[in-house]
Structure 1
Amino acid sequence: MVRRITLAAFAVVFLIMSWTTVEAKADKLLVVDSAAIFSTSEESDLESKLKGLSNQYSMDIVIVTTDDADGKSSREYADDYFDYNDYGIGADRDGILLLMDFDNREVYISTSGKGIRYLTDVRIESILDDVFAAGFADGEYYNGAEAFIASTSSFLAQGIPEGQYNEDEGSNSISLFDGLIGAAASGASGLGYFATTKRRYKGHPAPLAFNFRDSSLVEFGIASDNLINEYTTSRIIPVAPVRSSGGGSIGRSTTHRSGSGRTHGGGGRKF
């Protein structure tokens, strides 16, 4: 009897926890319009589209607007909003967030988990191209949001690019200490070369002056060239194929650490 009561109690607790989790997930807004740039119908439409896309790819895809970034950069605000408002699905917090920041006047895309792998640096730039091409900078904010959803959906459908890789933004940068050491070494090398060169040229006697007027003889003759014939040759110069300036960087997703210590990718553009 006691065992049955215990099992029943566990079952009730499990059901309550499951219900709470479902409720929390249902209450998670995917459109947070703090800057009040969308109408009620626009916000509802965007919310519906984002929920469908989020469910399809098992990640939180969010649009946030703000006119007060709390003194943070757009990247910091976007990353922190994603992290501290419990966005992201699974252990890796899979998700994508679009921030329309009217304080810093920047559109920024933050990625997390597998969102980093789907949206490489090149793809993020392409999405931003579409957002601005939709008239975002001219006040067409809803059109810009729709362009973000459509462009992101297209890239998600294409899958993770072949050869995709993550690269921390600090891996290609030089620290202040390394820079100072390099400057000191190059300065010492330059001074050493200067001193050696100075010693090599020091004390060499100047050559005797040459009297060119008395020791020169110049005779000018008359010569003429006659044009016999003329030919013109033409050929088509093939145009070199256009290549990406990034070379092997097409599949690169540049990452960084947010204030919470989590790894994010992303990129933005001022307006």
Structure 2
Amino acid sequence: MNTLNLMKNYLYRAKALTSGILLTFVLVFSFLMIKPILYVHADSTSQKVYDNAGLLTSEELMSLESAALEIGEKYNTDIYILTDEDSDGKSRKVYMEDFADEKEVTDSTIIFVNMESGNRGVEIQGYGTNKSLINSSRIEYILDDVTPYLSDEEYYQAFVTFLEEVDYYLGIDPSKDTATHAPDNNYASSDKYYEEENGANSILSEFWVQLIIALVIGGIAVGIMAFNSGGRVTVNERTYLDANHSRVIAQRDDYIRTTTTKTRRPQNNNNRSGGGGSGVSSGGRSHSGGGRSF
């Protein structure tokens, strides 16, 4: 009888565990599908140049729009040029990430020139396949050539240079690069909003942390279901014990083993979304990046 009850309890728990595991997969799958990743061809009709700072003439705007569209069609990608003189208290990095989320970009390269008083700077980001083709190292090389033009207020020539170099790099496998360019050491200080945002950003925004949370929630659900689904166990060690005719006839203590447990000492580690200007947008879009002040 005892064995039968134990087997029934085991089967109940096994069934609950199976259901719980399925629930965990459903939770994780649902989490991953919150932002479904769809392959979208480059939009050849949308606006590519957003000159909110008014740095370009109408002729220059038309020329850059045409060039950005031509390069985009050539590589099935989107290239955006942004300027503004009011970033609403956002760092260049976050300003561009919000733009990328708003446009739901896939394979894209974006340049942003911020003309805000006291916080002038330029930033470039690569998304999707452009994250590797226009990687952070290549972005630094592009910035080397673009920034001097911006400093001299030759904005049109700066954007032409940007487009020419993006066109060049999109056609070359990064593995063929013979040298790499480290991020600018003064990247953070080049943007007065960057450090403030970086300190305020919660680690909960990291993709891997959110995935772990989903797994933990699923695991808790499994545990609760397994614990509650087996029914109440009414058989215990005294069920078949005759207390009137049972007694302890001998006892002894045997040394078995010594167990030592080690715990890693927590480290003080400031989590960042990536080196230089690379990172992940609030919408889950990872990107390469880099920036300079001018």
Helix, strand or coil at the partner of 2:46: coil
- Pairing partner for 1:112 from 127, 136, 139: 127
Give deviations 1:149-188, integer Å, cap 9, x for gaps: 111111112233359xxxxxx9xxxxxx5128xxxxxxxx
Aligned length: 163
Do residues 84 (structure 1) and 102 (structure 2) align? yes
Question: Is residue 102 from structure 1 mapped to residue 115 from structure 2 by the alignment?
Answer: yes
Give the match for residue 178 of structure 1.
267
Q: TM-score, normalised by structure 1?
A: 0.55
How far does residue 255 in structure 1 lie from its aligned partner after superposition? 3.9
CA contact (8 A) 1:116 1:253 kept: no
Over alpha carbons, which structure has the higher Rg? 1
**Partner residue in 2 for 1:149:** 163
* RCO higher in structure (CA 8 A, sep ≥6): 2
Equivalent AA in structure 2 for residue 97 of structure 1: I
Residue 54 of structure 2: SS of its match in structure 1?
Answer: coil
Residue of 42, 45, 48 corresponding to 2:60? 42
Residue in structure 1 matching 2:80, options 35, 41, 62: 62
**Are the counterparts in 2 of residues 30 and 62 from structure 1 also a CA contact under 8 Å?**
yes
- Kindly report the root-mean-square deviation, in angstroms, between the aligned alpha carbons of the 2 structures: 2.9
Counterpart secondary structure, 1:155: helix
Contact (CA 8 Å) 2:146, 2:161: kept in 1 or not?
yes
Whether the 8 Å contact between 2:71 and 2:167 is mirrored in structure 1 is: yes
Whichever residue aligns with residue 287 of structure 2, its letter is: H
Evaluate the alpha carbon distance shift between residue 58 and residue 253 of structure 1 in structure 2; reply closer, same or farther with a 3 A threshold. Answer: farther
Relative to structure 1, the CA distance from residue 37 to residue 254 in structure 2 (aligned partners, 3 Å threshold; closer, same or farther) is: closer
Structure 1: 5+ residue stretches without partners: 1-20, 164-169, 171-176, 181-251
Residues 253 and 157 (structure 1 numbering): CA distance in 2 closer, same or farther, change over 3 Å? farther
- 1:12-46, Cα deviation, whole Å (9 max, x unpaired): xxxxxxxxx99x94541011111111000000000
Q: Does 1:159 align with 2:177?
A: no
Give, in angstroms, the shift of residue 102 of structure 1: 1.0
Q: Give unmatched runs, 5+ long, in structure 2.
A: 1-39, 178-202, 204-265, 270-274
**CA-CA distance at 1:68 after TM superposition:** 0.8
Instruction: Output the amino acid matched with 2:78.
Output: D
SS in 2 for 1:268: strand
What letter corresponds to residue 167 of structure 2 in structure 1? S
